[in-house]
Structures are given as C-alpha cells and as structure tokens.
Amino acid sequence: MHTRTRVNIVKIDSDLIESDGTDVLKGLDAILVPGGFGSRGIEGKIAAVNYARTNNVPYLGICLGMQVAVIEYARNVLGLSKAHSSEFNPKTPDPVIALVTEWIDRDGSVETRDESADLGGTMRLGAQTCKLVPGTRTRRAYGQEEINERHRHRYEFNNNYLQRLQDGGLVISGLSVDNELVEMIELSDHPWFIGCQFHPEFTSQPRDGHPLFNSFINAAVEYHKAGA
C-alpha cells in the first residue's frame, strides 16, 4: 500500500530448488528468504542466495535468510567451501553462524543460553536496539541512526569470521548497542542485497509498511522496469 505497488508473491519450496535447480527463480523481480528452523531445504535457500547475488536480483534475507546469505558468501566468495551454521552441521570446520552463549539485552541485563537448554527459553526474543552504519543502504532506507526491531532466534553471526568477511567485501550495516552482535549485512556492489537478523514483519503495518519492505519493493520495481 505504501509503495502503491501490486506485489505478486510467488512461493517456491527450497526443496524444489535443491532437486530442480535455480531455473525456477528465473523471471522473478526479487527474492526473499524468510526465517525458519530446521535443516530441510537449507541448500536450496543457499542456492537462491547465490542466484540473487550473481544475477543482481534484489534480495532480502530475514533471520535465517540473513544467515544463509552469510554462508553463501563465505563459501563462494571467501572460498570456505564447507562453511555452514553449527545449527545444521555441528562439525563444520567453518561455523560462520554459531550459537552465541551470552549477550546484553535491551535493558542492559545479561542473557545466556547453551545448546542443551530449552529452545524457546534460549532464544533472543523481543525488541532490541540496532545501530545502523552511516553510508549504508540500510541507513538510507531507515533514515535514522538507531532502530528497534524484534528478534526470535538462537544462532548468530560468528564474530570469529567478521574481519575475513569484511575484508572479502561483506558490509556490516547494523550492530547491537554493545557492538557484539551483527544485526544486518549488505553488499555494496549489488543493486539491493540486505540481510537482517531480526523480523521486520513483526513491526510492519498495512498503512505505513516498513522501511526495509518499502525499499525492497521499490528495488523490485526498478529491476522489473530495467528488464521490461
């Protein structure tokens, strides 16, 4: 509504991408990989990220969608062919996504979790403040220095790979208030490629939309026009 755009949503099972390849993505004006749990279809999601990145198709990765974007970049740009999330492959030699055991909550309190704890009780839940990096597409989309977005996940960007990924061209566009958790990523050499660890759909409204969705849809419109 906010962008005055009629969006035609095409739902594609990532299992289909694994079995039939990325040809099923041809003709799309943008690709969104949403949040989720479990290993089913993960390689299909990673393949979808690769298709969007290498074909300059607008991409938005939400929660798990950001994580698979990091995995894809580590594998295919940094050359870490076995990079993965420890959620799906605990024995991966390059866990670019891993379980973070401690973080500071929005009110300053320290939260902890571990692999053996209850899934729901160990999630990073609720609104968290995110600092946006000046000069990034994300900062321009929001038009402000700090945002509050809601989370629902256990695994995080592994900071042990932060410098290597940045040196390889991955842009960190959003960080937690203590600078310990990567909240958003993007690519500077791509028309529109953004991943967020939080869930913007939780704060999106029918009348006003959401800055990320609005910018994403506008990018899809531009991509469509360029190919028309």
Locate 217 and state its tokens.
Answer: 């849809």
SS3 state at 45: helix
CA 184, distance to chain mean position in Å, is: 7
What are the residue numbers of the active site?
A: 63, 199, 201
Give kind and range of the element (H or E) at residue 184: strand 182-187
SS3 state at 44: helix
How far apart, in whole angstroms, are the C-alpha atoms of residue 205 and residue 123?
25
- Bridge partners (DSSP) of residue 83 are 94
User: Which residues 6+ apart lie within 8 Å of 43 measured at CB?
Assistant: 14, 18
CA 191, distance to chain mean position in Å, is: 16
SS3 state at 18: helix
